[in-house]
Amino acid sequence: MTSKTLKTEIYYLERQTGEIIYEQIFAEKTLRLLYENYFGFIVFNYLLNNKTFCWLYGKYQDLPLTRSQINKFVRRYQIDIKETELPLKNYHSFNAFFSRRLKPNARIFTTESNIFCAPADSRILVYPKLTAETQIPVKSSSVTIAELLNCEKLAQIYRQGSALCLRLAPYDYHRFHFSDTGKALPAKYIQGKYHSVNPLALAKVCNIFSLNKRMVTEFISNNFGRIAYIEIGAFTIGSIIQTYTPGIVYKGQEKGYFQYGGSTLVLLFQPGTICFDDDLIQHSLEGLEVYVQAGNQIGKKNQIQS
């Protein structure tokens, strides 16, 4: 066993009902073996935590033979198939289902310009004001924005700003969207590792966000200033796919999607541009993630710009 005691259970708040939910950890036995077992962690780091293994695993999930996993996956995690764009029989592989689109209007983004909507189905934590050192707390440690962005100069734009962390479980809808209308610059790829982003892994390796491969997009929002979108890959993530075209984009427009595996989004905001909803601030102070869906209101435009 490792010398560090890890949290054995994970809970989050279902915002719509107010219920505290025990999270079913995808591939829990494997994840605990890799992160809670001393020898398992060594095997993971030397043999599995690399581009080649994750690419091969992603390609395997593209094969037609993986279609047999879909029905079992849907039943176990109670996925609402009434929302999916296609009938289950029309998905040619597990990866095709994993990165599924939803039916039109399954996720509604309000047209009110002062409302900031969640860009993805996820469990979120909000950070209304980052420290002068531009750090985002992650479990028992913290990650600097410069490390996250891989750019000290870009990090200064968000000094003492705000941050939003969105964690997607493997059974979530894995496409992400723009939360406002504005201009999106081309995404920049940052090479890195392939750690899981589950809280079990974050408890073991606290700087995963700055270690993993990721993509950074600078977005000049019409109503919320400059925003950095950071898509963070994870263990067995085959690819982070960008589907938008750089230039003018619109609120609710799809930005891209993750292929197989759990994953995380981090959004960084300039100081004084957004006011997160009070309930999210309070729960984040308690360390309790809140589940929201893409299009749900999570904040408002700060009417008094600092």
User: What pLDDT does residue 195 have?
Assistant: 56
**What average pLDDT is seen over the chain?**
84
In-domain check, residue 4? no
Residue 6 counted as domain residue: no
Strands 162-168 and 122-127: antiparallel
In a domain, 1, yes or no: no
**Residues with a known catalytic role:** 121, 177, 263
pLDDT on residue 143 = 79
- Give the model's confidence band at 255: pLDDT under 50 very low, under 70 low, under 90 confident, else very high: very high
Nearest to 70 by CA among 260, 298, 239: 260
For the segment 179-207, what is each residue's pLDDT rounded down to a tens digit? 999 999 999 998 866 655 656 666 666 66
**Mean of pLDDT values over 54-68:** 81
Query: Does 5 reside within a domain?
Result: no
* CA–CA distance, 262 with 224 (Å, rounded to integer): 28
pTM here is 0.86
- Domains of the chain: total: 1
Task: Report yes or no on 73 lying in a domain.
Answer: yes
Label residue 212 by pLDDT band (50, 70, 90): confident
Tell me, what's the pLDDT at 2? 38
Task: Name the CA dihedral angle for 279, 222, 145, 173, rounded to a multiple of 10 degrees.
Answer: 60
128-152 pLDDT tens trace: 998 766 667 655 457 788 888 988 9
SS3 (DSSP) at 105: coil
Question: What are the structure tokens assigned to 163, written together?
Answer: 């941050």
Q: Is a pLDDT exceeding 60 seen at residue 1?
A: no
Query: What average pLDDT score do residues 232-246 get?
Result: 81
Among 35-44, 81-90, 112-121, 184-193, the minimum mean pLDDT is found in 35-44
pLDDT of 232 reads 87
Which one, of 180, 18, 177, lies nearest residue 106 by Cα?
177
Domain assignment of residue 75, given as a range: 11-306
